[in-house]
Amino acid sequence: MIIKQLSIFLENKSGRLHEVSELLGREGINMSAFSVADTSEFGILRMIVSDHEKAYKALRENSFSVSLTDVVCLSCPNQPGAMAKALRILSENDVSIEYLYAFSVGESANVVIKPDHLDKCISVLQQHRMELVKASDLYKI
Amino acid sequence: MIWNEKIECASRQEMLGIQSKRLKETVERIYHAVPSYRKKMQEVGLTPHDIQSVDDLKKLPFTTKNDLRDNYPFGLFTVPMSEIVRLHASSGTTGKPTVVGYTRKDIQMWSEVVSRSLCMAGVHRNDIVQIAYGYGLFTGGLGLHYGTENLGASVIPISGGNTTKQIQLMEDFGSSVLCCTPSYALNIAEVMNEMKVDPSKLKLRVGIFGAEPWTEAMRKEIEAKLGIKAIDIYGLSEIVGPGVSCECEEQCGMHINEDHFLPEIIDPDTLGPVAEGEIGELVFTTITKEGIPLIRYRTRDLTRLIYDRCNCGRTLVRMVKCKGRSDDMLIIRGVNVFPSQIETVLLQMSEVEPHYLLIIEREGTLDSVTLMVEVQEQFFSDEVRKLQELRMKITRQLESLLGISVIVKLVEPKTIERTAGKAQRVVDKRNLI
């Protein structure tokens, strides 16, 4: 259930995002999900890829500050109120969210969550019969 | 007006007589009162008896900022604390400040040399002197203050900052003299412009500027913008503070009050003397100071001396505007900053590697300092909040150590250039020399 997400530190200068995507393309690595957190000076690129170990190695070799972060991916129906329900469960069980990003694929919506306590988050969601995406499935998208 | 004509216009022979007598007394006193300096003299086989005149000065061991640090705080004082009436301090290389103590007589001597300096600048007792140097541990504010009172002019002890009020008091009180750092003078000029205050309507006539390097171009700019004569004053707290030397109205070098501070110019590499008139490192021996007299103190400022009589009539030797430093010290907004201090801060933080680049720029009239630090694997967090916290932590620690605000910028690894030799850690874009 634990998903390995790549996090990359980027300075705010033009072309950096392009360099990352080009590098991964060259290595034959596909991106499943992708998000950028930005501040006035730097950004953090977070993504889930087809082969995180290979991507990690390639990025390090090219002098990027990169780390692997454990996240969880929730799958809920792609319809109004579905996400609210999941978030209410987490909130009622005192699980805080550091950040999240989401993408829909047809009938279902996937929400990548970085909670403050990963294990607790997973068990709370499972207890409430929420569907979690398997890592191997997510990497294939 | 010349404040102390007998001294300031003395013949070279007379001056050498005064200096030799005072040097002899000082060496005698330090030898008996300061164990660390006595040891230094003994190591080279010197006793006070070997020092009879200024010619013998070159035999004596040097004193450096490190000596002050090693004897922190009061180890180099030659009198008991009951004789010390004032302490001042400036920033040091490793976080510990350099402490200086003044006896009542030292304060009188300091006031005397500042009064001389003010007269050199054309200030007289009818003037109203606005002192916008910082008051406090820094010697600028109180040094000018006592000298101005001693001269008999009126002091406005406003200290630094609060520019709108500075300008308001110039208008209301009719300040005729402004004392501050040259960059602050330009800042005041800028704010005046914004406030639509016409400098030509003010009584401001003279500015006495120091505590940081400035160029002839800056002088012209200040003189044009404020409609005043801009005078350069020099000093360092270790020697006394402002008033070690000052320009006269001829603006052709700063007259050193050499009956109190005996100057030499040495080659910073060989430590031997340079030919007369050549550029080298300025070294001072204080020959009247009681609290913390210093023998052959290396200022690290590069300059040269002019012994010709000045058109103003003074014979006091002149030093030209400093041409740089023989160490890596930077003066930013009047504060002494050593790049090694920054390294100390970064090394103390386990999260950071000491790859940094310090960029100093002059934005408008004030210096800005940007520190670029590489974000390394081990402390890279993918949470924005944690990176911001790290940035704040570095900022806070630097501010508390350096005493100036620094913009910390996190950059990607390997973006700071690595060199095989001495790393380029500082980029000073101010073009001050």
Token pair recorded at residue B287: 């020959």
**CB contact A14 to B (< 8 Å):** no
Q: Verify whether the Cβ–Cβ distance A41 to B413 is below 8 Å.
A: no
One domain for residues A64 and A12: yes
- Closest in A5, A65, A98 to B412, CB measured: A65
Domain ends where: B295, B327, B359?
Answer: B327
One domain for residues B280 and B347: no
Give the CA-trace dihedral at A37, A42, A48, A54, to 10 degrees.
Answer: 180
- Closest in B375, B385, B409 to A9, CB measured: B375
A11 to chain B, minimum CA–CA distance in Å? 6
The amino acid present at A94, given as its one-letter code, is D
Q: Verify whether the Cβ–Cβ distance B411 to A11 is below 8 Å.
A: yes
Q: Which residue of A has its CA nearest to B409?
A: A41
Rg (CA), chain A: 16
Given a cut of 70, whether residue B93 has pLDDT beyond it is: no
Given a cut of 70, whether residue B6 has pLDDT beyond it is: yes
**CB contact A7 to B (< 8 Å):** yes
**Is B433 a member of any domain?**
no
Token pair recorded at residue B6: 């007998």
**CB contact B409 to A (< 8 Å):** yes
User: Band of the pLDDT at B92, cuts 50, 70, 90?
Assistant: low
Tens-digit pLDDT profile for residues B116-173? 999 999 999 999 999 999 999 999 999 999 999 999 999 999 999 899 999 999 999 9
The amino acid present at B181, given as its one-letter code, is T
The secondary structure of B112-129 as a DSSP string is HHHHHHHHHTT--TT-EE
Domain ends where: A46, A69, A92?
Answer: A69
Domain ends where: B327, B359, B392?
Answer: B327
- The continuous run of DSSP H or E covering B176 comes out as none
User: Band of the pLDDT at B419, cuts 50, 70, 90?
Assistant: low
Tens-digit pLDDT profile for residues B200-257? 999 999 999 998 888 888 899 899 999 999 999 999 999 999 999 999 999 999 999 9
CA distance B413 to B377: 9
> Domain total for chain A?
2
Token pair recorded at residue B323: 């041409």
Which domain CATH number covers B103? Answer: 3.40.50.12780
One domain for residues B186 and B271: yes
Q: Verify whether the Cβ–Cβ distance A67 to B381 is below 8 Å.
A: yes
Tens-digit pLDDT profile for residues B38-47? 999 999 999 9
One domain for residues B323 and B357: no
User: Tell me, what DSSP letter sits at residue B273?
Assistant: B
Within chain B, what is the greatest distance between any pair of CA atoms?
73
Residues from chain B contacting residue A64 (CB–CB below 8 Å): 412-413
Which residue, chain included where needed, has tokens 């101005």?
Answer: B148
Give the residue with greater pLDDT, B127 vs A104: B127
Interface test with B, best of A14, A17, A65, A71 (most B CBs within 10 A): A65
Domain that holds residue A55: 2-69
Mean of pLDDT over chain B: 91
**CB contact B383 to A (< 8 Å):** yes
Domain ends where: A69, A98, A124?
Answer: A69
Domain that holds residue B375: 332-428
Tens-digit pLDDT profile for residues B391-408? 898 899 888 878 888 999
> Domain total for chain B?
2
Which domain CATH number covers A21? Answer: 3.30.2130.10
B418 to chain A, minimum CA–CA distance in Å? 14
Q: Verify whether the Cβ–Cβ distance B411 to A114 is below 8 Å.
A: no
The pLDDT value recorded for residue B353 is 66
Inter-chain contacts counted by CB atoms under 8 A, chains A and B: 51
One domain for residues B218 and B198: yes
Q: Which of B408, B328, B323 is nearest to B371 (CA)?
A: B408
Q: Verify whether the Cβ–Cβ distance A65 to B381 is below 8 Å.
A: no
**CB contact A68 to B (< 8 Å):** no
- The shares of helix, strand and coil residues in chain A, as percent rounded to the nearest 5, are 35, 40, 25
CA distance A89 to B7: 87
**CB contact A37 to B (< 8 Å):** yes
Torsion sign, CA atoms B213, B217, B220, B222: negative
**CB contact B375 to A (< 8 Å):** yes
Q: What percent of chain A has pLDDT over 90?
A: 67
B236 to chain A, minimum CA–CA distance in Å? 38
**Is B308 a member of any domain?**
yes
B218 to each of A137, B131, B232, B362, B367, how far by Cα in Å?
67, 20, 11, 12, 14
One domain for residues B217 and B246: yes
